Amino acid sequence: MTIYWWRSELRRRDRERGQDFVEVDIRPDTAIAARQSFEIVLPGGLRIVVPRPYDADELRQLIAAVSTC
């Protein structure tokens, strides 16, 4: 069994349960670190660049709001 097989199997199981698997790709980016910000990419390709410092509660509200669009 390969990683591809497991990924497909988990997606199939999630669909049966009414859940959706979201793949997350985390890569170091020195340019982002240098700017003291980070980027969140939501399903559908929407990107949010978050400067530091940030308010965690406001960020959660923003993500919740744009996730419903």
Average pLDDT, the chain: 77
pLDDT value of position 60:
86
Tens digits of per-residue pLDDT, 10-30?
Answer: 888 877 777 665 677 777 666
pLDDT value of position 48:
84
| DSSP string for residues in 11-27 | HHHHHHHT---------
pLDDT value of position 44:
76
Other C-beta atoms lying within 10 Å of the C-beta of residue 62: 15
Tens digits of per-residue pLDDT, 25-46?
Answer: 777 666 655 567 788 887 778 8
Taking the domains of the chain in order of start, what are their residue ranges? Answer: 34-69
